[in-house]
Amino acid sequence: MHRRSILWGTLSAIGAAFATSRANATTEAPPQKLKVVYHLDDLGKVNFVIGSIQNHLDGVGGPGNVTIALVVHGQALKAFHSAAANPDLSKHVGQFTRDGIELAACGNTMKSQNIGLKDLLPGFVAAERGGVVRLAELQSQGYLYLRP
């Protein structure tokens, strides 16, 4: 008789634990909006990265569902010079700016290319302490790092 009580008590405890876990699962907070930073320094990958960002936005249902930053340095920054940018790239950058995507240009690269923000497509901000420093800052703020 004592064994039945122990078995019944054990089964009851397992059932209660399962019921509690199911109740907690339905009351959990929704997942936080992801924060992602794209790192771009290769001139040959500019169109690929811009396409990846657009695919990312489309895949999550728009800019309201993700926070995205793009940090550009090195040779890739040349593609964003307003005098040399192709119209499709200019269109994407304009839309990204309207979507609230941070577009950061490395201050060190700007100095080495002898340009200022006025020389870049509208929407860029300067990462005065450097692109890699900005990448580290964003990662410390919980941004996921992507380098396509």
- Is 126 or 24 the better-scoring residue by pLDDT? 126
One-letter amino acid of 101: I
Task: Quick: pLDDT tens for 74-85.
Answer: 999 999 999 989
Residue 71 has pLDDT above 80, yes or no: yes
| Kind and range of the H or E run holding 90 | helix 87-98
* Distance separating alpha carbons of residues 76 and 57, to the nearest angstrom: 22
Provide the Cα torsion 118, 104, 78, 82; round to 10°: -30
> What's the pLDDT tens digit per position in 7-33?
555 556 565 556 665 555 555 556 678
Q: According to the model, what pLDDT value does residue 119 have?
A: 97
- Which among 131, 57, 40 is positioned nearest to 97, based on CA atoms? 57
Architecture of domain 34-146: 3-Layer(aba) Sandwich (3.40)
